[in-house]
Amino acid sequence: MPRAADPLPEPPGAIKLISLADIRQAADRLRGITVRTPLLPFGEKGLVKPESLQPTGSFKLRGAYNALAQLAESGSRNGVVTHSSGNHAQAVARAARLLGLRAVVVMPENAPRVKVDGVRADGAEIVFVGPANAERVARAHQIADGQGLELVSSANDSRVMAGQGTCGLEIVEQLAEMRLATDEPVTVLAPIGLGGLAAGVAVAVKELRPATKVIGVEPAFAADTRDSLAAGRLRRWSAEQTGRTMADGLRGEAPAAIPFAHLQRYLDGVVTVEEDQIAAAVSRAAAELRLVLEPSGAVTLAAMLFHAEHLPSARHVAIASGGNVDRERFVALLARGYHSPEWSETNRS
């Protein structure tokens, strides 16, 4: 297993945690913009929340629209800049178009074509840089300073994180509608890249259902959050290390500082999944749930399928975070998953 590099310096000052009220206000802003995705039964006690069904194909529209809507409410019309490998880029582009704002997006040159096309379709300007997250961040800051644009991070922004937390708010509401008692053991599985979704979901779920466990899921090739939580401070993995995972949306080299503060308080643990397990989960989602998932969106399903013994309860809710994947790559993933050792003879029937 790769070893993390030296710890990152601590962020200056105390970080103010978001509240349940912040998430509820985000839900009000998102009404009519995002979809209340269902909880789909999977297996005997599993449930899958397909955020791949959101208008831009991932959960990211929740956070991006909440942040940009607040900018519009404040009267700011200069526009925004962001850095993203794809899904947040698409979400910012869509939110900016809906709100009449200019958007500039810094993307890695190896971003999936389907995500690049989605950004362009919503009229955002794209600036390409190398694959390292640090390069994207630096270029976005340069553009923000030079052009007077508001920088909207994909995760290190309380407004974005509150928007992502609405996914957790929905899960709690839906569990109640299913008449699951608040003290019944349930584990919510959230993918972790830079940590915004897992942090926002954890706040909503733990504030409303304290007995419910929230577990983060990372690829074994990009387990920087697991290492950071174990160390009690941010730990960085190199771009070469995280770049090995097929889950391109989870290649953040270290958790963002604001989400990390929330994860330290609210998250109950981290599970890591292997590449063949991710591919098998993509195949199982297609075959059994009729869902198209990108690898990043399938890691929680992989945890539910292959690491149930490491989870704190028998009933699981897996957030399938996105489904933006190039068609050719999706076909290859289906083949890899179907032929992997993880796909047993009983799964093929």
DSSP letters along 217-280, please? EEEGGG-HHHHHHHHTS-BPPPHHHHTTSS-GGG--SS--HHHHHHHHHH--EEEEE-HHHHHH
> Any idea what DSSP says for residue 132?
-
Give me the amino acid identity at 338.
Answer: Y
User: Which among 58, 153, 154, 321 is annotated as catalytic?
Assistant: 321
In one-letter notation, the amino acid at residue 196 is: G
Closest CA to 216 of 285, 337, 85, 312: 312
Q: Which of 60, 115, 206, 213 is catalytic?
A: 60
Q: Which residues contact 54 (CB under 8 A, 6 or more apart)?
A: 34, 35, 37, 60, 61, 62
187 close to 171: Cβ distance less than 8 angstroms: no
Whether 74 is catalytic is: no
| Other CB atoms within 10 A of residue 281 CB | 29
Question: Among this protein's residues, is 49 annotated catalytic?
Answer: no
Instruction: Give the active site residues.
Output: 60, 321
